[in-house]
Every structure is written in structure tokens, then in C-alpha cells.
Amino acid sequence: MSVSIPPYLKNGDTIGLVCPAGFMAAERIVSCVHTLKSWGFRVRIGRTIGGTSSNYFSGTDSERLEDLQEMLDDENISAILFGRGGYGLSRIIDQISFKKFRKSPKWLLGYSDITLLHAHVYSNYEIATAHSPMAGAFQDAEPHNSYLLSIRDLLTGQKLSYSCDPHSFNRKGEASGTLMGGNLTLLSHAVGGPSDFKTKGLILFIEDIGEYLYNIDRMLHQMKNAGKFQKPAAIVVGSFSDMKDTERPFGQDAYEIIRDIFKEFDYPVCYGFPVGHVPANVAMKCGVDFHLRIDKEGSTLTEI
């Protein structure tokens, strides 16, 4: 699939901040706003940042939809960086209009629940997006943190290249393909729906947080049975953090479960890649071609 690449940003361009899912207090974006401005960008803050909601969400469904829609439609905004994920996009994604966005694409940056938006845009409109740290990540990190700087590199059009240490579960090899993926829970949630996408020839990456181990096993089997693991070019496994277990142990950790799912296939598989709900979370271009190399020295993922 050949995708459209949104224009890269230049000095003085505007980045919008919005929360289409879980609530985020306004004070948690202060560091983000300061850093984005230090990079030479202007910032526009959406109404759902620090909204008046008293429940889990950053506003009602209609409020979150309206705030995101305004950001998508505004031609003066060059990118949208989401405040946080959590849950909520699936409640409104079928109501979002991408008519103006398709004519004038802009970078959409986030991960976790935002995975659904990446999948939807890639599958339906063939436009590249950015799986990346969100506004909240700036709160507890130094301004020169390499993972946050990867956002700037992506937005300004730098060719991205990342590496990670070798892992005993790695399956060595090389592959080139379109990079796509994200949070396993959202990827499995999308199967069979309007945000689903074909995985043949992709470098597919996965990560997750806070799930019971049996849920990881169930979601992987769901995706396998749906044919998602039959013909990708390669698999990249990020962090599976804060996993939970039942009183009677499942008997395997997350990586062992993943290893067993992929053991019948022969494509390269990389473990321990710096992507997920941890500080080591790099910005990656979804829908863009990359080359993956896995050898005894470790793994490298390089934009083509």
C-alpha cells in the first residue's frame, strides 16, 4: 500500500493538543507546551485538556468528538499531539469526518488507545500517522530525553533509525515492509471492524500494559485465527509492562506467550524493542516503509 505522507513541520507551525479519550489534568501539559515552543512550534490547546468532566473521560462523547473534529479540520494546525490515551476513541471514531483531513493531511501523534485511530486512518485513507509518546510523557522527562526528541525528528522529516539489544527469543533475519501496529488490545479490538487492516507484507509491531496474561494469550490467538500473523514480513515486540496474573498462575510470562504464538512461522521476530507504555518509547511512522535487521548484535529498524 502506498500512503500519503503529511507535510513535515517547519519553524512556526502549530501543534494542537487534544484528549479524545481519558481525562487529563491541564497542569500535566505544561512541560509539553514549554518543550514544543522551545522546538520552534506554536501550540493550540483543545477544550478537552483539563475539561470539566467528572468521570473517566475528558468530556462527553459529543464534546470529545467536536474538539477532535475542529483540530482535524483546521488548516492552520499542522499536527495533533494527543494528551493521553486510556479508552474512548472507539465510542466516537465512526462519527469522525475525515473529509477535510484527507484533502489536507496532518500528523497525528499518540499511542495506546490512539492505536485505533492510526489503524483507521491507515486502513481507510492510506495516510501515514505517528505512533509516539503523548503530551503526558513530557511531564516526567528531561527536555533532551532522546525518546521525546524522536518526536521532533519525526515531525521535521528526519529519517528514523532505532536499535535495541539482542534478546534470547529473537528470530534472526532481515525484512523490509510497511511499519504498522500498536497496542495489542486495540489491534485485536479492531479485527473485523471498520478500522481493521491487512497485515501481509507489514512489519507489525505490538505492545501492551496492565493486562492479565490470559488476556494476552486470548488476543494473540484471536489475531492468529483472523490471519493476522500468517504473512507479515516481520514482527517487532515492544514492552508488555505491568502484566497481571490470576490466583492460579497462567504459567508463562508475556514474552513466552508471544514466542509460542509465533513459533510456527519463519519470519524475523524482534523482542525488547523500545516502544510501549514505558519511558523507552520511540516515535515511529505508521504506514511508512522500514527495514528490520536482527542479528547476534541486536536489532535495528531503519526508515527506507
- The DSSP secondary structure of 102-132, one letter per residue, reads HHS--EEEE-GGGHHHHHHHHHHH-B-EEE-
The answer to whether 132 touches 234, Cβ cutoff 8 Å, is: no
| pLDDT reading at 142 higher than 90 | no
pLDDT > 70: percent of the chain: 99
Task: Give the single-character DSSP code of 41.
Answer: -
- Of 95, 127, 114, nearest in space to 2 by CA: 127
User: Cell numbers at residue 221, please?
Assistant: 490467538
Predicted confidence at residue 12, as pLDDT, reads 98
Residues facing residue 208 across a β-bridge:
240
Determine which helix (DSSP H) or strand (DSSP E) holds 182, and give its type and residue range. strand 173-183
pLDDT > 90: percent of the chain: 96
Mean pLDDT, range 77-86, rounded to an integer? 97
Helix, strand, or coil here: 259? helix
Which single residue is written with the C-alpha cell 487534544? 18
| pLDDT reading at 141 higher than 90 | no
The answer to whether 122 touches 4, Cβ cutoff 8 Å, is: no
Q: Give the full edge-to-edge strand order of the sheet including 298-303.
A: 161-164, 298-303, 289-295, 173-183, 202-209, 234-241, 269-271
- Evaluate whether the domain defined by 14-155 bears CATH number 3.40.50.10740: yes
Predicted confidence at residue 223, as pLDDT, reads 98
Query: Residue 182, Cβ neighbours under 10 Å: how many?
Result: 30
| pLDDT reading at 53 higher than 80 | no
Q: What is the pLDDT of residues 227-261, one digit of tens each?
A: 999 999 999 999 999 999 999 999 999 999 999 99
Determine which helix (DSSP H) or strand (DSSP E) holds 16, and give its type and residue range. strand 14-18
Task: Give the single-character DSSP code of 72.
Answer: H
Q: Kindly report the CATH number that applies to the domain delimited by 161-303.
A: 3.50.30.60
| pLDDT reading at 52 higher than 80 | no
Q: What is the pLDDT of residues 165-208, one digit of tens each?
A: 999 999 999 999 999 999 999 999 999 999 999 999 999 999 99
Mean pLDDT, range 10-34, rounded to an integer? 96
Q: DSSP H helical segments within the chain, as ranges?
A: 30-38, 61-73, 99-103, 115-125, 146-155, 184-190, 213-225, 254-262
Amino acid sitting at position 36: L
Angle at 141 between CA 136 and CA 145, to 5 degrees: 115
Task: Give the single-character DSSP code of 198.
Answer: -
What span, in angstroms and rounded, lies between the C-alpha atoms of 81 and 83? 7
Predicted confidence at residue 19, as pLDDT, reads 96
What span, in angstroms and rounded, lies between the C-alpha atoms of 233 and 282? 21
Mean pLDDT, range 60-71, rounded to an integer? 97
Amino acid sitting at position 139: Q
Predicted confidence at residue 40, as pLDDT, reads 98
The beta-strand segments (E) located in 184-283 are 202-209, 234-241, 269-271
Angle at 107 between CA 104 and CA 110, to 5 degrees: 145
Mean pLDDT, range 106-125, rounded to an integer? 98
Helix, strand, or coil here: 20? coil
**Domain edges within the chain:** 14-155, 161-303
